[in-house]
């Protein structure tokens, strides 16, 4: 599997705070279709939600989601 830097180049991801492991791609089924899941880690704890600006009190904002 590709390294973190290669995965960012392939997916054209500009955010340097996302870290991909070498085994970040897994396969599964979603709504009856075959899919690939790409797992990564955000390298910081967000202070608030970027969309609704809700504050991150007691780790209420998780570092995952969809785009």
pLDDT digits (tens, 9 = 90+) for 52-63: 888 888 767 666
pTM: 0.54
pLDDT at 14 over 90: no
> What is the tens place of the pLDDT at every residue in 33-46?
999 998 888 777 77
pLDDT at 13 over 90: no
pLDDT at 3 over 70: no
Ramachandran angles phi, psi of 46, nearest 5°: -65, 145
Q: What is the pLDDT of residue 64?
A: 60
Ramachandran angles phi, psi of 34, nearest 5°: -75, 135
The single residue listed with the structure tokens 């209420």 is 60
């Amino acid at each position: 599997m590709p390294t973190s830097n290669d995965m960012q180049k392939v997916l054209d991801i500009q955010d340097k705070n996302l870290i991909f492991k070498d085994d970040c791609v897994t396969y599964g089924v979603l709504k009856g279709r075959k899919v690939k899941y790409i797992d990564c880690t955000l390298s910081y704890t967000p202070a608030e939600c970027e969309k609704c600006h809700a504050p991150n009190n007691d780790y209420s904002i998780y570092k995952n989601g969809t785009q």
